[in-house]
Amino acid sequence: MLQYIIRRILQFIPVFLGVTIILFTLRAVIPGDPVRMIAGERAIPETTYQMIVQNNHLDQPIYTQYVYYLSDLLHGDLGHSYQKNRSVLDIFAEKLPYSASLALCAILVEIIIGLLVGIISAIKKYSFIDLLLTLSTSILVSMPVFWLGMLLQTFFGVWLKGWTGGALSLPVSGAGGPISAYPPILHYILPAVTLASVSLAFTARIMRSQLLEVMNQDYIRTAFAKGLSKRAVIVKHALKNAMIPVITFIGIDFGTMLSSAILTESVFSWPGIGREIFLAIGQRDWPIVMGGVVLIVIIVMIINLIIDISYALFDPRIRYGKKKAE
């Protein structure tokens, strides 16, 4: 097992190099003078210009710049924001708790509602409720995240408020705080649901098809033949088998969720890393964009490793590392 983990961590290296090289190339290709980004709109003396060039190694060839960047990265330095004159790491450290807590809420929503909807659809297959749930998940899957976010804002923030004379509404922007009229927990609802929406719909559909497939297996017939009730058969014998592909999906999908967090956080003005990256893209603030992507890549790789390891908990047929052949 330990051997497996070490091997997987070593595999991080080429992925990591690949991603950073692509980003670096992109930065070089996209027009815009970095010095102007750093210095701003005002005219600057030539000496200052040269100083900025030298400090940022901009006079070096691009591969040398890349080596500088990697070396900084290995020292835990993600660079300096062009616009904010702060270290990228500092900015992210401040934003991370917001993003992490939102992502956690979204995953909880995805798992709880997604699994529940999938299980109900499978148990009541071809019924009206199954049709309704399948239709809803189809719509959710095909709906752009930012548009769903705006719809929810309009409905819960504007219309509902109007209908109930202001008695009922949900916050549509920000993460709460002293100036907010709502308790902080309410601020999570709409962004978390929006962020979870697409993944939730996929989770429900995979859960449904997996459970239906597992229910046709011979060992389910055996369980019925033992005298178990349908409920016990599903809970004890079917779910654990059906969960394995669902967990795979949730793991793989985590990266997708992080990228839709950029849109969701922007729509809801959520003060997290996603919104920071969104703003930085508009301002060509490369260190933040690159730092953000690097951070996301690292998180996705770690989560995938954890998911792979957790298979072994669900499926005894999977054992990592060397073991005597069966």
Partner 1 sequence: MAEMMNKSNHLLELDDFRFFFSTKDGLVKAVDGVSYTLDAGETIGIVGESGSGKSVCAMSIMGLNPTPPGQVGGGDIRLNGQSLLSMSEKELRQIRGNRIAMIFQDPLSSLNPVYRVGKQVGEGLMIHQGASKKEALRRAVELLDMVGIPNPAKRARDYPHQFSGGMRQRAMIAMALACDPEVLIADEPTTALDVTIQAQILELMQKMQQERGTAIIMITHDLGVVADMADRILVMYAGKPVEYGTADQVFYRPLHPYTWGLMRSIPKRTLDDDQPLTPIKGNPPSLIDLPKGCAFSERCPYLRPQCRHGRLRMQQVDEGHYSACLQSFESSFLLNSPRHDSEAAGADALGAVANGGAAQGFAQRGGTDG
Q: Quick check: 248 binds partner 1 (CB under 8 A)? A: no
Q: Kindly state the smallest distance separating residue 93's Cβ from partner 1, in Å.
A: 41
Residues 182, 185: Cα–Cα separation, whole Å: 8
Task: For partner 1, give the closer residue by CB, 30 or 313.
Answer: 313
Q: Quick check: 227 binds partner 1 (CB under 8 A)? A: yes
Residues 207, 119: Cα–Cα separation, whole Å: 7
Residues 81, 16: Cα–Cα separation, whole Å: 21
- Of 65-73, 163-171, 175-183, 315-323, the segment contacting partner 1 by CB under 8 A is 315-323
10 Å CB burial of residue 53 (0-12, 13-18, 19+) is middle
| Interface size with partner 1, residues (CB under 8 A) | 20
Q: Kindly state the smallest distance separating residue 317's Cβ from partner 1, in Å.
A: 5
Task: For partner 1, give the closer residue by CB, 75 or 231.
Answer: 231
Q: Residue from 228, 279, 281, 309 that binds partner 1 (CB under 8 A)?
A: 228
Q: Residue from 90, 226, 252, 306 that binds partner 1 (CB under 8 A)?
A: 226
Q: Quick check: 315 binds partner 1 (CB under 8 A)? A: yes
Q: Quick check: 165 binds partner 1 (CB under 8 A)? A: no
Q: Quick check: 326 binds partner 1 (CB under 8 A)? A: yes
Q: Quick check: 183 binds partner 1 (CB under 8 A)? A: no
Q: Which residues contact 212 (CB under 8 A, 6 or more apart)?
A: 122, 125
Task: For partner 1, give the closer residue by CB, 317 or 322.
Answer: 317
Spell out, one character per residue from 200 to 219, where the chain touches partner 1: x when CB under 8 A holds, - when not. Answer: -----------------xxx
Residues 243, 233: Cα–Cα separation, whole Å: 14
Q: Quick check: 166 binds partner 1 (CB under 8 A)? A: no
Task: For partner 1, give the closer residue by CB, 13 or 126.
Answer: 126
Q: Kindly state the smallest distance separating residue 122's Cβ from partner 1, in Å.
A: 15
- Of 129-137, 179-187, 223-231, 303-311, the segment contacting partner 1 by CB under 8 A is 223-231
Task: For partner 1, give the closer residue by CB, 27 or 237.
Answer: 237
- Residues forming contacts to partner 1 in the complex (CB under 8 A) are 217-219, 221-229, 237, 240-241, 314-317, 326
